[in-house]
Amino acid sequence: MALIVHKYGGTSVGTVERIGRVADKIVAARENGDEIVVVVSAMSGETDRLTAMASEISDNPPAHDVDVLLSTGEQVTIALLAMALHERGCEARSYTGAQVPIRTDNTYSKARIREIGPERMRADLDAGRVVVVAGFQGVDDDGRITTLGRGGSDTTAVALAAALKADECHIYTDVDGVYTTDPRIEPKAKRLEKITFEEMLEMASLGSKVLQIRAVEFAGKYNVPLRVLSTFEDGPGTLITYEDGDVEEAVISGIALNKDEAQITVAGIPDKPGVAFRVLGPIADANIEVDVIVQNVSRDGSTDLTFTVHHRDYDQALALARKSGEELGAREVAGNTDIVKISIVGVGMHSHAGVASRMFEALSREGINILMISTSEIKVSVVVQARYMELGVRALHEAFGLDTGPVTPDEPESW
Ligand code: ASP
Ligand code: MG
């Protein structure tokens, strides 16, 4: 008998009829002999609806009241799902976060889980009941309701799986797994059987929105095997786990895309110590995160510094760069919002030389000019003009054999 935590997102419980279908799935899993703890989100659109009501009343509502409000979305779903299970002859008990209890700190609207008391859930499971828990919420030391940040039900599910030492945590959603890249951009994208926590974190932070990033971090930290599956069709989904070394590793697991960045260049500043700090220091002080950074020296002893920031910070970062550029006597300070960052991700790359050059060659064959490059252990990113987004992703998808199955390390390199 396996203990599995199931998590159903907002779309999966979006209507009363769909809640019934979720109940059918849980009954089937029970009949299969599994012990089940279910975490549910609010019905789709509900959290947004509640947020909109709050902002009609106040521009700045008290954070703990916002959390009391938002937590009601999930409370509706646990009650309806428990009823649907009861209706099917399946004994179930529903819990809000505070009832479990899921104890958190008191940073309302983005609280962190500190501790989970598994005893009540354990007793229900031992009595043969299904446990239904409201995602996205907890309780602080003062007994006040907290929420975990948008998408937080994923984190609830992983945390419960860790606390109960569950065998797997299943995240049921509207896609049937994690793909090699966005299928809307490359229709040949394939579902991955397996991906490591590290790779999934990179994919998620680079814009692949299947899972909340914090949930993936949590799962990696506590070694909870995660599986992303479709609520609406049967299938094995994608397993997210540790690298086990015995599978035939693909060099690259996926291609991620980030359309949220903009580029700023401070050109013709003196090439001497402290200059990068003079430009980037005020930006960091304004709490603006800088992603890719490139600095190059020209022959006349001056240097150009180029970096990227999130679109939402662009205007402020450009103003700050203009100011420090002026102080440093820069020749020009320019911005470009028309860029995308394309990244290849794979734990397989740290054992294979030439991954970056294979990437650059594939892009050059398509005549795509690379504006910036950055690398890490398991990722190579390039910044290119936005109009090359689709072409670039497709060229890389093919070059790394993701269209047809993995390129094995031994395959003769014909590139
Ligand atoms: N209902 C919350 C949200 O929409 C939490 C979740 O769905 O995971 O962000
Ligand atoms: Mg959600």
Burial of 282 (0-12, 13-18, 19+ CB in 10 A): middle
Whole-number Å distance, alpha carbon 135 to ligand 1 midpoint, is 8
Burial of 18 (0-12, 13-18, 19+ CB in 10 A): middle
Correct CATH for 3-174 of 2.70.70.10, 3.40.50.280, 3.40.1160.10, 3.30.1330.80 = 3.40.1160.10
> What does pLDDT average to over the chain?
92
Question: Given the CA of residue 74, which atom of ligand 1 is nearest to it?
Answer: 1
Question: Given the CA of residue 149, which atom of ligand 1 is nearest to it?
Answer: 9
Whole-number Å distance, alpha carbon 285 to ligand 2 midpoint, is 32
How much is the pLDDT for 134?
Answer: 98
How much is the pLDDT for 356?
Answer: 93
Residue 409 has pLDDT above 70, yes or no: no
How much is the pLDDT for 208?
Answer: 66
Closest C-alpha residue for ligand 1 atom 9 = 150
With contact defined as beta carbons under 8 Å apart, do 403 and 396 qualify? no
Instruction: Find the range with the poorest average confidence among 99-103, 166-170, 297-301, 341-345.
Output: 297-301
How much is the pLDDT for 6?
Answer: 98
Which of 6, 13, 40, 47 should be mutated for ligand 1, with most atoms under 8 A from CB?
47
In percent, how much of the chain has pLDDT > 70? Answer: 95
Binning pLDDT at 50, 70 and 90, where does residue 407 land? Answer: very low
How much is the pLDDT for 242?
Answer: 86
Ligand nearest to the CA of 153: 1
Residue 266 has pLDDT above 80, yes or no: yes
Tens of pLDDT along 242-254?
876 655 567 899 9
Which residues, other chains included, contact 38 with Cβ-Cβ below 8 Å and sequence gap of 6+? 5, 6, 7, 8, 22, 26, 81, 130, 131, 132, 133
Closest C-alpha residue for ligand 1 atom 6 = 151
Tens of pLDDT along 305-338?
999 999 999 999 999 999 999 999 999 999 999 9
Tell me if residue 53 falls in helix, strand or coil.
Answer: helix
How much is the pLDDT for 408?
Answer: 43
Question: Measuring from each residue's beta carbon to the nearest atom of ligand 1, which residues come in under 6 Å?
Answer: 9-10, 41-42, 47, 73, 135-136, 150-153
Binning pLDDT at 50, 70 and 90, where does residue 300 land? Answer: confident
d(CA 77, CA 10): 9
How much is the pLDDT for 244?
Answer: 67
Whole-number Å distance, alpha carbon 371 to ligand 2 midpoint, is 35
Question: Given the CA of residue 150, which atom of ligand 1 is nearest to it?
Answer: 9
Kindly report the pTM of this predicted structure: 0.84
> Among 153, 48, 170, 149, which residue's Cα sits nearest to residue 97?
153
Which of 38, 40, 41 should be mutated for ligand 1, with most atoms under 8 A from CB?
41
Ligand nearest to the CA of 157: 1
* pLDDT top residue among 134 and 203: 134
Mean pLDDT, residues 340-348 taken together: 94
Residue 261 has pLDDT above 50, yes or no: yes
Element housing 276 (H / E): helix 275-285
Whole-number Å distance, alpha carbon 261 to ligand 1 midpoint, is 25
Closest C-alpha residue for ligand 1 atom 5 = 151
Question: Given the CA of residue 10, which atom of ligand 1 is nearest to it?
Answer: 7
Question: Given the CA of residue 148, which atom of ligand 1 is nearest to it?
Answer: 5
Tens of pLDDT along 76-116?
999 999 999 999 999 999 999 999 999 999 999 999 999 99
Instruction: Find the range with the poorest average confidence among 136-140, 220-224, 346-350, 396-400.
Output: 346-350
Whole-number Å distance, alpha carbon 134 to ligand 1 midpoint, is 10
Burial of 249 (0-12, 13-18, 19+ CB in 10 A): buried
Tens of pLDDT along 21-58?
999 999 999 999 999 999 999 999 999 999 999 999 99
> Among 338, 389, 406, 410, which residue's Cα sits nearest to residue 186?
389
Ligand nearest to the CA of 76: 1
Mean pLDDT, residues 134-142 taken together: 98
Mean pLDDT, residues 125-137 taken together: 98
Question: Given the CA of residue 41, which atom of ligand 1 is nearest to it?
Answer: 7
Whole-number Å distance, alpha carbon 170 to ligand 2 midpoint, is 14
Residue 270 has pLDDT above 70, yes or no: yes
Binning pLDDT at 50, 70 and 90, where does residue 414 land? Answer: very low
Question: Given the CA of residue 42, which atom of ligand 1 is nearest to it?
Answer: 1
Closest C-alpha residue for ligand 1 atom 8 = 151
How much is the pLDDT for 350?
Answer: 79
Whole-number Å distance, alpha carbon 22 to ligand 1 midpoint, is 17
